[in-house]
Chains A and B, each alone.
Chain A
Amino acid sequence: MMYEFKASDLAEEIGVRRNTIRDWIRTGTIPAKEGPGKRYMMDVAEYIKLCDKFGRVPKVDVNMAIEVEEIKSLAEMENGNHAIDLNNRKTDSLYTDPSWADACLTCGTCASACPIAGVDDLDPRKIVRMAMFGLEDELVDSTWPWKCTMCAKCENACPMNIEIVALMRKLRSKRERDKVPGPIHKGVATCLERGNNLGIPKDDFLFLLEDLAEEMQEEGCPGFTVPVDKKGARLLVTINSKEPFAEPDDMKFWWKIFHTAKEDWTVASENWEGVNWGLFSGDDKSQKIIVGRIVDNIEKLGCEALLLPE
């Protein structure tokens, strides 16, 4: 059975713009086809799945698509048949202190503060409760803690100071490293091995800095150079590797300011990376090593201050 819709209606339903819906259809994020009269068609089950994903109530009866596996479990949950046996769960793996279970008042203020509450049928309150009940495996497998941006809006709103962000990060850290989504673990591994997330070789980096410095001289900063490994400079500047990789001209903003302010600054020739994805992947050990390298550079060069333009 097909569900017929206008891009603008679906856009309003989800809270994005029409062109975003069209984009999602084009890229397959929404599995729909163009239909007659500027309308689109998608399988009704897909529509219900989409509503489920963004925490919306479908405009059709959920039972219309009961044959689909994901929907079936949803319908069962609604009928109260879906129970998880909590008796044999360890409850102290995510919270060492059992009193946490009493600290959370289950008021749901955190969920109200969260812009993606309802996505995948989860929100901060549910995740805190699941953690209290020891549902570690379910949470570690869930992609929700990775869709969360750890913005701390929930925690800021929580009347009981539950450490929700630390919980999210802990859930991320408990994933096996080869199951960390996207490139962030790979970036950490590359950074540990080669000094920056994108593996830019030292020679290429230094050549680029010289090249850009020459451009700066022509662009109204006479005598400008990038001081590399300058001992005794006041300020050590780290660099986001995306800039030398893809947006090199963006480095000039800071440089222009330094030049004008007559700042005594320097860039390290090695371990100059300013991005630390260990923070996001939940990898304390690597995060510490990467921070340690920056501290080493500060000590080696005798700098007084650090600029991490992140």
Chain B
Amino acid sequence: MLEYIQSGQITLSQDFHTMKATYHDPCNYGRKSEKAFGYGYYEEGRIITKECCADFQDMEPNREFNYCCGAGGGAWALPYNAERIFYGRVKARQIEDTGAELVIAPCHNCRDQLMKSLNKEFDLGIEVKYLWELVADSLVVPGQEVEADKETAE
């Protein structure tokens, strides 16, 4: 996706997401990828998010020290719901501390936990988007600018 942006195959606009945004580091793309494959994907997702969101605030701690959403390792599908929510309290606090209204999750599992569980359980009042959803919603398509503007207005 970063290739698309850098090669100019797609153009993104920051006009669609003017609210404060933050980025969730999934354990598997970052910390665990670094351990297993020698490279953690920390910056790629941030560069893309910042292309779409001018007002960006990292969580603390972040990157390799980031906290898990609480639903990894299959926990989203496993029956230990109370423990999963309890786990997520740390993540919820991290998000709250950024003051962000939009949280970008580049992982299916994290997005479901953040959007469908933590948002409700911890009254976060946030919007959660996949990284690719953010990009799809920020695309500038030649000849379609007018239509896109209308969508934001809604």
Contact = CB atoms under 8 A, between A and B. Distances in A.
Contact of B68 (A115, A220, A277): A115
Q: Max chain A CB contacts within 10 Å: which of B67, B79, B83, B139?
A: B83
Interface string A269-281: 0000001010111
Interface in B33-85: 35, 64-65, 67-75, 77-85
Nearest to A219: B147
Interface residues of A, number: 52
Interface in A128-170: 143, 146-153, 155-156, 165, 168
A220 B147 contact: yes
Q: Name, among A184, A187, A262, the residue most crowded by chain B CB atoms within 10 Å (CB to CB).
A: A184
B39 to A, nearest CB: 15
Contacts of B67: 115, 151, 153
A74 interface: no
Given A151-B73, A257-B132, A156 B64 contact: yes
Contacts of B120: 19
Contact of A240 (B27, B32, B108, B147): B108
Contacts of A148: 73
A17 interface: yes
Interface stretch (A40-48, A61-69, A248-256): A248-256
B4 to A, nearest CB: 4
A93 to B, nearest CB: 22
B133 interface: yes
Interface in A27-41: 29
Contacts of A253: 130, 132-133, 135-137
Nearest to B7: A261
Nearest to A252: B136
Contact of B123 (A19, A54, A115): A19
Interface of B: 1, 4, 9-10, 27-28, 31-32, 35, 64-65, 67-75, 77-87, 89-90, 107-109, 120-123, 130, 132-133, 135-137, 139, 141, 144, 147
A242 B67 CA distance: 25
B74 A153 contact: no
Given A29-B82, A220-B147, A253-B136, A152 B108 contact: no
A165 B10 CA distance: 39
A181 interface: yes
30 contacts: A16-B85, A16-B89, A17-B122, A17-B123, A115-B70, A115-B86, A149-B68, A149-B69, A149-B70, A149-B72, A149-B75, A150-B72, A151-B68, A181-B79, A182-B78, A182-B79, A184-B77, A220-B144, A250-B130, A252-B136, A254-B132, A260-B139, A261-B4, A262-B9, A263-B4, A275-B108, A280-B74, A309-B108, A309-B130, A310-B108
A73 interface: no
Given A149-B71, A165-B32, A184 B27 contact: no
Contact of A277 (B74, B87, B130): B74
A255 to B, nearest CB: 8
B65 to A, nearest CB: 7
A115 B87 contact: yes
Contacts of B84: 147
Contacts of B81: 29
Contact of A310 (B28, B85, B141): B28
A245 interface: no
Contacts of A254: 132, 136
